[in-house]
Amino acid sequence: MQVCASCHGADGNSAGGAYPKLAGQHPDYLVKQLKDFKPQPGARQPVRNNAIMTGMAAALSDQDMVNVAAYFAAQAQKPGYAHNKDTVPLGQKIYRGGVADKGVPACASCHGPTGQGIPSQYPRLSGQWTEYTVAQLNAFTQGPGARNNNEAMHAVASRLSDSEIKAVADYIAGLH
């Protein structure tokens, strides 16, 4: 846990947006993500390509992953907040209603009206750092080689403009 805590915080509340808040995240989702950082038999690279996390996950057994996930899931997430009041209306529109003319569904349709997600299927988003969410949405837009472990998110994120990504990420940070 000490190794995880150096980036994600001892209680799963990272100190800044470079690293995600893991506190209160669904344990099955955390296990899946940890496994996605490990190259699978016959694969040259993991489906989530991150040099730091690939090295960290490589040292974990399947039981270690379950234990780490259970620990962080049991922690209380510190609430976040939106930083830019000017983009909150756009972020809320995208989160709650999507962008119909671009074929972007509402984020809430999978992640729930308050961003709690659906255990093992969709992660909790509420209160996540704006910077981290922007980075992940941008990685999804790049597809293979960046973050290619969710084809649906690749399709959705690739239809959003930079300003829409920033607005919805900031809205998510303040979602409760």
Determine whether the annotation assigns residue 83 to a binding site.
Answer: no
Determine whether the annotation assigns residue 154 to a binding site.
Answer: no
Q: How far apart are the first and last CA of the chain?
A: 27
| Residue-level pLDDT at 143 | 67
Quick count: other Cβ atoms within 10 Å of Cβ 161? 10
Determine whether the annotation assigns residue 4 to a binding site.
Answer: yes
> What is the pTM assigned to this prediction?
0.93
Determine whether the annotation assigns residue 7 to a binding site.
Answer: yes
The answer as to whether 80 is a domain residue is: no
Determine whether the annotation assigns residue 110 to a binding site.
Answer: yes
State the residue range of the domain holding 103: 88-173
CATH of the domain at 161: 1.10.760.10
Spacing of C-alpha 11 from chain mean position? 17
The answer as to whether 165 is a domain residue is: yes
The answer as to whether 117 is a domain residue is: yes
Element (H, E) at 93: helix 88-97
Q: What is the pLDDT along the chain (176 residues), one digit of tens a residue?
A: 778 999 999 999 999 999 999 999 999 999 999 999 998 888 888 888 888 999 999 999 999 999 999 999 999 999 999 999 999 999 999 999 999 999 999 999 999 999 999 987 899 999 999 999 999 999 999 866 667 678 889 999 999 999 999 999 999 999 98
> How far apart are alpha carbons 119 and 45 in whole angstroms?
27
3-state secondary structure of 147: strand
Place of tokens 């992660």: 123
